Structure 1
């Protein structure tokens, strides 16, 4: 284990190797030459390689800083630290992938790698994984070497302990997760679990999560129990004790919420398990195993450290194959992390173990929980404070950047390094960058600036300074950086353009390094300036270099719509939705582009169908945007897709009915819907109790919309009442149809009285009057609502008198202005026919 190879012994071991620096020679060749001439044994060389690797990890990954000068340990001291360090960083470049430029004491990693090339050891694979973690992207060369080393170092099934086997499988799982071999990672984790004897199950248990919660809701939880032999083995390992006699662990920040509990309060597993789950459990199905039936999630048993590593790697694998920011994934991952933390914090109360919990495992669990909590408004405070505390635990944060200083007894290096090769490597600069990003999201710009300055990241520092309202200071930082050539020079010019909004800087960034972000910024600049054609030119260049930028494709599509290049726009938005199927705006804009393309001869029907599908997806993703539903209704009506059209009308009424009333209805669409409804024979029967079940979904919902919803909305349009009457007549409900005709007439007359000189209002009133008279004539003698047996109640006994009264009433209202008009003559003819 790492604890047997202290990094503090590196100076003595190197001097025993007589390592002498050679001018103008790569450091790896210096080490190789010294190793071939050394009289040391393989065990001594292996000890030096492991100690050097541990020293590099201590300085760059786990903290605290080394207690010796890692440069003055050779026979000949290093004259220029900066040049020596940059040369060593350059040596670590592999397959054109550059190593992190600010990694410290990189020569110790090179020393370890060079020595391990001569030795057969599992440590070579571990050192190669550390090397890979310094690169900006996966390296095929390191990939082959890592898996070859893992294959060569597999422990024997007959001679190795269960702990050694579990460690090996976890290292395989870690490498598989990094290189995106999900099936291989799943199998390795399963093998590690079998070797360790861990029993665990992700399940749902009812719980209370808030202080004022009255009902219990299902909550994901991991029930887990370690093999007792593994727990005892963990307790025999070195236990770090502070002055107060407790295990030394990073400080776990309390939630201190007025609403949320510190941890969910679970009900008993047996109480919350359904009858079907109990039957499945009895039949041996994959429900909660019998071994976990008495596991209490409120006071979980202590896990062996190796089992905590299994759970941590499991949640890493889940996150690597799941969509980011998915709430279901977040809940699942949090269940695994919470199990590790609850085991650690509850260890002292458990009779099964002495309370030993590894520092690295616990701190990593806290880190992962903090990342999840930083995205939630309810827990962002604890998440941010916990991130800052963990960075401070590394012993590298300055007083200006550390928000929380922990006063706990510092865990020694041996405990920090013990399980580092079983978990994904997390360099301290990545932790710093994560913390700086979190500060930026909260508006803590000055704190983020301090971190960027400490990490020697002038471009990020300039961006942060500009965001803090100091653009001149940001420009000075960039100008100082650009005085000498750097790898990031094109990016620096692009950022200069972002701050100054001067196109010449973006042009220079593109000229010097084909920097795609510069072209994207140019495209956005010209789009805002109203020059969409120029925007398309620049975005096309950017997308040739980096075709996976969704924002660039979206802007490309918008520019296509602006310039009426609809095929170009459709391409842009199609690319957007292929990268993110949850982008409602891209789906809506894609529908718009397809609609315009459908106006071309020969493509109407096909493009309209594609547009309808796009609009349906946009409405699914953004169900509260009434404009999307309005467009969906129009396209569906054009395609005579009446089921979709009806769904759109119903949703539009839900969104706008309360405020807009009948304004939420499109009269033309309502006419078409009613015609589509009554074109088929009514399938119901008022005397049949099950008639509604025989109706199709469209028929049932359309009837509900027109006969129940529309009457509540009508205030100005008489024709809507006519549509209601038409449907009621089709339903063989003449009494309801006649009532709708009467309301249509009254509304038409009221509209006419409000504007007596309007020809349109007068014609509408006359038409309504004549339709009502026809309704009296055709429906008055039909059987009424209460007709049954021998008794026959008609719809309207005095229909003829009511018809005459209706005509005379309207004639009296319109005589003063409209006597002698064409509509007046129609009323006179109708009055004479009724005599």
Structure 2
């Protein structure tokens, strides 16, 4: 082990489930786990400087390296106790409660110090002094650059988790740290671990493209790859025949990687359903004997969490994620990894009637496990950064939501009241037809401690706009929440012009509000403010890339702005999110035609026919055929003639579906590889136009005459011999068409074309007769 690795391990960077409990430092941590943060002397030395960087920096610089290490370890104790109390459990002792309630800590408002851009930390956050102190120590008490940056990265993640809203300020801090970290040297599995943690923080901020980069780097270092495959198996208890099921196939390259040791983990609650099996029973399971090391498990989990953000939440979404969870649950997991996997499964199963009861029992099991004393908190807290484990109040709120879905309104309400989740309290009281009760409770809370959030919620409960005004003034005109609720009030009343003003102010303060961008975009579409709509939907789709309707609306705004290329790209993203919506494919096809993206016209048209069976758009087909036949340059500057065969295949499919559609046959004839085939298709086109009553429409007559003109020219070409049966068939087609048209009164409007076709018919007749003369001779 290198000096760097030893240093990082000593300061709990790489301490994992395989670390020996006899390790000297680990043993000391266990023994002094809570007592260190209750050390009055450390606090008395730090508190005078803690909130003033200009005094804190010189204080740390004046210390020796060994003294700085002592303070750094104190910072570690602060963060791990904070994580234990607010994330993994169990609760800290009563002694810790009493210690941090002492007037000694009342001199600093740590909650206010942790608020960001006027957004407070969650009301359920315990011991905020621990998080703030850790952040300050890791930032200014320099031990080793990588060590300081790594722990700063972790505290940004923890800080974001305890905030009510996503913070642009913290995202900027993460970006700045990321740039600094990129300049440092780190290799092997240690680098892979950090890459996973970096990916997880960007997952938290829903910055998918950055998360993907770090996750791919980690997988490359670890030598892990995976793909979803179709395998035969049984899903239900009464299924006799094996059917195709999705299975995750994992390939590991590093055989020397340490494997996770078995430890006490939350129970995996069995699915007690009359029909469905607990997990799919595969006929051949290639993963049956596989042992996946701990870091590789974390990489798979991070991939799942990225999928949860980036993919549309439809039935396929559940089917794609489940094989990852099923495989991970067969492994020896750490406590935090197992709990995270099970909580994800709870979310996926909470809306399915066959799995919602298991979801409830599983969530209760995890809530109970958080309260247990075993395993030791050290084996829980250090994995939180690589698993993105949520705070305990979010786990309890998840349990309340499942109860609400099951109709357990009172039980759900009790949890929401305990967690002070007033928005959810309003929902519960509304269901119970007691909305006035919600208003009373919020007013009581306002009397105790008036906050911006409570004023906003009172406005929601009473539909009183003045409450939002008070919240805005209280925040000194800096609260994104106040403007969001204010805008939502007008949005719900369809007063779109007014709501846009407030939404604009809200996102200018905090641009990481996905739902505000979504409502802002919709309102802008309604009032035909296309530029604002495009901006709003573009920002929304960066945060929520799995919403096909948003991509579709973004494309609509771009089309109205005459930005067809951007609209095309937006629609490509839309079909990724909803592959089975023919209307989105139709939009893509039309826009592709507008920008001459011929290959996407073909792809989109085939997909529409797959979904809808029948669909005819002659205008789009005409653009495609014209481009291909004239070898026009496509969207990317490539000659369209390369798509000739694919265009023929598409027209062949369309004419098979629409055998009586004259225009389709006419276009198909244009693509024919030889004269004979072209002539036959033109004859089919004439028959297509010559439907019942066709001759009464001058436009139809003109189209038939035009095809007759082309057909006659083909018959007179050298490739078609006088003895060919085809020329006689053409003669009959021309004669029949001309005879019918002459009976109408369109001769004046069609006289020129009619005369030309008659002249050509005479030549065709002469050519036919020449065959008879040659035969007699």
Provide TM-score, normalisation by structure 1: 0.60
Aligned equivalents of 1:679, 1:51: Cα separation in 2: 74
Match of 1:795 in 2: 727
Match of 2:233 in 1: 208
In structure 2, relative to structure 1, the CA distance for the partners of 1:115 and 1:551 (3 Å cut) is closer
Residue pairs, 1:277-296, within 5 angstroms: none
Aligned equivalents of 1:719, 1:700: Cα separation in 2: 15
In structure 2, relative to structure 1, the CA distance for the partners of 1:502 and 1:434 (3 Å cut) is same
Aligned equivalents of 1:14, 1:586: Cα separation in 2: 49
* 2:683 maps to 1:738: yes
Q: SS state of the match for residue 482, structure 1? A: helix
Whether the aligned pair in 2 keeps the contact of 1:781 and 1:797 (CA below 8 Å) is no
How many pairs were matched up? 671
Residue pairs, 1:503-652, within 5 angstroms: 503-513=465-475, 514-527=478-491, 529=493, 531-598=495-562, 607-619=563-575, 621-632=577-588, 634-639=590-595, 644-645=600-601, 651-652=607-608
Match of 2:616 in 1: 665
Aligned equivalents of 1:317, 1:656: Cα separation in 2: 37
Aligned equivalents of 1:779, 1:500: Cα separation in 2: 79
Aligned equivalents of 2:703, 2:132: Cα separation in 1: 94
User: Once the 2 structures are TM-superposed, how far is the Cα of residue 105 of structure 1 from its aligned partner?
Assistant: 7.0
Whether the aligned pair in 1 keeps the contact of 2:582 and 2:608 (CA below 8 Å) is yes
In structure 2, relative to structure 1, the CA distance for the partners of 1:748 and 1:185 (3 Å cut) is closer
Whether the aligned pair in 1 keeps the contact of 2:111 and 2:128 (CA below 8 Å) is no
In structure 2, relative to structure 1, the CA distance for the partners of 1:775 and 1:519 (3 Å cut) is same
Whether the aligned pair in 2 keeps the contact of 1:807 and 1:831 (CA below 8 Å) is no
Match of 1:476 in 2: 440
Match of 1:255 in 2: 271
Match of 2:458 in 1: 496
Residue pairs, 1:113-132, within 5 angstroms: none
Match of 1:711 in 2: 659
* 2:66 maps to 1:90: no
Aligned equivalents of 2:591, 2:276: Cα separation in 1: 47
Q: SS state of the match for residue 711, structure 1? A: coil
User: Once the 2 structures are TM-superposed, how far is the Cα of residue 70 of structure 1 from its aligned partner?
Assistant: 5.5
Aligned equivalents of 2:216, 2:605: Cα separation in 1: 48
User: Once the 2 structures are TM-superposed, how far is the Cα of residue 259 of structure 1 from its aligned partner?
Assistant: 5.2
* 2:698 maps to 1:763: yes
User: Once the 2 structures are TM-superposed, how far is the Cα of residue 383 of structure 1 from its aligned partner?
Assistant: 3.0
By relative contact order (CA 8 Å, sep 6+), the higher-ranking structure is: 2
Q: SS state of the match for residue 483, structure 1? A: helix
Whether the aligned pair in 2 keeps the contact of 1:636 and 1:644 (CA below 8 Å) is yes
Match of 2:62 in 1: none
Q: SS state of the match for residue 472, structure 2? A: helix
Q: SS state of the match for residue 342, structure 1? A: coil
User: Once the 2 structures are TM-superposed, how far is the Cα of residue 491 of structure 1 from its aligned partner?
Assistant: 1.8
Match of 2:398 in 1: 434
Aligned equivalents of 1:127, 1:775: Cα separation in 2: 77
Match of 1:661 in 2: none
Q: SS state of the match for residue 309, structure 2? A: coil
Aligned equivalents of 1:185, 1:300: Cα separation in 2: 22
User: Once the 2 structures are TM-superposed, how far is the Cα of residue 474 of structure 1 from its aligned partner?
Assistant: 1.3
In structure 2, relative to structure 1, the CA distance for the partners of 1:133 and 1:799 (3 Å cut) is closer
User: Once the 2 structures are TM-superposed, how far is the Cα of residue 493 of structure 1 from its aligned partner?
Assistant: 2.0
User: Once the 2 structures are TM-superposed, how far is the Cα of residue 744 of structure 1 from its aligned partner?
Assistant: 2.6
Aligned equivalents of 1:617, 1:228: Cα separation in 2: 40
User: Structure 1, unaligned stretches of length 5 or more?
Assistant: 30-44, 148-164, 194-198, 240-247, 273-296, 345-356, 396-410, 599-606, 659-663, 682-692, 753-760
Match of 1:219 in 2: 247
User: Once the 2 structures are TM-superposed, how far is the Cα of residue 388 of structure 1 from its aligned partner?
Assistant: 1.4
User: Once the 2 structures are TM-superposed, how far is the Cα of residue 533 of structure 1 from its aligned partner?
Assistant: 3.2
User: Once the 2 structures are TM-superposed, how far is the Cα of residue 456 of structure 1 from its aligned partner?
Assistant: 4.0
Match of 1:152 in 2: none
Residue pairs, 1:327-406, within 5 angstroms: 338=326, 341-343=329-331, 363=339, 366-367=342-343, 369-371=345-347, 373-374=349-350, 379-395=355-371
Aligned equivalents of 1:569, 1:229: Cα separation in 2: 50
User: Once the 2 structures are TM-superposed, how far is the Cα of residue 554 of structure 1 from its aligned partner?
Assistant: 3.9
User: Once the 2 structures are TM-superposed, how far is the Cα of residue 60 of structure 1 from its aligned partner?
Assistant: 5.3
Aligned equivalents of 2:595, 2:78: Cα separation in 1: 72
Residue pairs, 1:671-682, within 5 angstroms: 675-676=626-627
Q: SS state of the match for residue 233, structure 2? A: strand
Aligned equivalents of 1:795, 1:768: Cα separation in 2: 21
Map Cα deviations across residues 369-412 of structure 1 (whole Å, 9 max, x no partner).
545555777644423320112213345xxxxxxxxxxxxxxx65
In structure 2, relative to structure 1, the CA distance for the partners of 1:130 and 1:543 (3 Å cut) is closer
Aligned equivalents of 2:483, 2:37: Cα separation in 1: 50
User: Once the 2 structures are TM-superposed, how far is the Cα of residue 587 of structure 1 from its aligned partner?
Assistant: 3.6
Aligned equivalents of 1:230, 1:567: Cα separation in 2: 54
Aligned equivalents of 2:311, 2:706: Cα separation in 1: 58
Whether the aligned pair in 2 keeps the contact of 1:804 and 1:831 (CA below 8 Å) is no
* 2:233 maps to 1:298: no
Aligned equivalents of 1:50, 1:823: Cα separation in 2: 92
User: Once the 2 structures are TM-superposed, how far is the Cα of residue 544 of structure 1 from its aligned partner?
Assistant: 1.5
Aligned equivalents of 1:263, 1:439: Cα separation in 2: 24
Aligned equivalents of 1:174, 1:643: Cα separation in 2: 38
Provide TM-score, normalisation by structure 2: 0.64
In structure 2, relative to structure 1, the CA distance for the partners of 1:497 and 1:381 (3 Å cut) is same
Map Cα deviations across residues 191-241 of structure 1 (whole Å, 9 max, x no partner).
9x9xxxxx988677856352436246562256899999989x969xxx9xx
Aligned equivalents of 2:725, 2:261: Cα separation in 1: 91
Aligned equivalents of 1:636, 1:744: Cα separation in 2: 28
Whether the aligned pair in 1 keeps the contact of 2:589 and 2:600 (CA below 8 Å) is yes
Aligned equivalents of 2:711, 2:594: Cα separation in 1: 36
Map Cα deviations across residues 447-489 of structure 1 (whole Å, 9 max, x no partner).
3321122234445433543455432111111111111344xx2
Whether the aligned pair in 1 keeps the contact of 2:88 and 2:380 (CA below 8 Å) is no
Whether the aligned pair in 2 keeps the contact of 1:173 and 1:189 (CA below 8 Å) is no
RMSD of aligned alpha carbons: 6.4
Whether the aligned pair in 2 keeps the contact of 1:27 and 1:88 (CA below 8 Å) is no
In structure 2, relative to structure 1, the CA distance for the partners of 1:676 and 1:94 (3 Å cut) is closer
Whether the aligned pair in 2 keeps the contact of 1:516 and 1:542 (CA below 8 Å) is yes
Whether the aligned pair in 1 keeps the contact of 2:472 and 2:483 (CA below 8 Å) is yes
Aligned equivalents of 1:652, 1:127: Cα separation in 2: 51
Map Cα deviations across residues 418-452 of structure 1 (whole Å, 9 max, x no partner).
55445447643342133234445666543332112
Whether the aligned pair in 2 keeps the contact of 1:769 and 1:807 (CA below 8 Å) is no
Residue pairs, 1:681-692, within 5 angstroms: none
Map Cα deviations across residues 236-272 of structure 1 (whole Å, 9 max, x no partner).
xxx9xxxxxxxx7644310234554333445667xx6
Q: SS state of the match for residue 727, structure 2? A: coil
